[in-house]
Amino acid sequence: MARQRAFTKSELLDATERLLMERGYNGFHLKALSEMLSGARSTIYEYYANKEEIVAACMRRTMEQTIEACEGIEQLEPVAAIKKVLLIFLELSNFHTLMLAAPKIDETASDKARRDLEFLNEGHADLKKKLTALFQKAQEAGTLRADIPLPVITAVFFHAIDTPNWLNVPTEEWADMLFGLWWNGGGNPLTK
């Protein structure tokens, strides 16, 4: 009998992400994960002790990628930076979907999972803070409406990321469309 090839930690996290995207947290099971990988199921346990650890590690990796992609963004002119952040978030579109699993993870199941979830919370807060600071700079420069509270601007911006790309246009083009809609609005200015 031929010995099965062991898979790498990166391959394991890639498969975890695919399975989470397909089935969500509740549909994620180690048996299904092992069926996606070419290797012995026991290899999973060489990396992670349980479902919570694997999912939290997958989410942490995605957060790390997002944080890394946003490094230095505040050095750009605010409007260009905001547009760049939207593109980054669209390119890493699984990020938001994966983060929906965070509240479902039992933090008491593992210290490793708990630490990864703490990292997620800190990373999310940092990204939100950076984005809000960009919006504030744009307001102060007079390029973004100052009559709309920052939390509203931030919330609408984050929800733009979840807009389905029914046209299946390339990500950069989709980002331009969404940014244009967010920046300029969807029609004529409201009159009171």
Span 2-27, pLDDT tens digits: 445 578 899 999 999 999 999 999 99
More confident residue, 1 or 80: 80
Query: CB of 39 within 8 A of CB of 116?
Result: no
Long-range CB contacts (< 8 A, 24+ apart) of 139-147? 141/78, 143/78, 143/79, 144/78, 144/79
pLDDT at 128 over 70: yes
The token duo for 182 is: 């967010």
Q: What separation in angstroms does the CA of 51 have from each of 43, 64, 161?
A: 14, 20, 28
Which of left, alpha, beta for 115 (phi over 0: left; psi -120 to 50: alpha)?
A: alpha
Tokens of 171: 């990500």
Round to whole Å and give the CA distance between 79 and 182. 12
pLDDT in tens, 23-47: 999 999 998 998 888 777 788 988 9
Alpha carbon separation from 79 to 94, 114, 132, 142, 147 (Å, rounded): 24, 36, 12, 11, 17
Higher pLDDT, 158 or 115: 115
Query: In this predicted structure, what is the pLDDT of residue 1?
Result: 43
Q: Given this model, what pLDDT does residue 4 score? A: 55
Q: Which amino acid makes up residue 88? A: I
Tens of pLDDT, residue by residue over 62-113, are: 999 999 999 999 999 999 999 999 999 999 888 878 888 888 999 888 999 9
Q: DSSP secondary-structure letter at 9? A: H
Mark out the alpha helices in the chain (DSSP H runs): 9-23, 30-36, 42-47, 51-69, 78-91, 94-99, 111-140, 150-161, 171-184
pLDDT at residue 57 tops 90 = yes
8 Å CB contact between 89 and 96: yes
> pTM score, two decimals?
0.84
Could you give the 3-state DSSP secondary structure of residue 184?
A: helix
Q: Looking at the predicted structure, is the pLDDT value of residue 131 above 50?
A: yes
The per-residue pLDDT for 192 is: 44
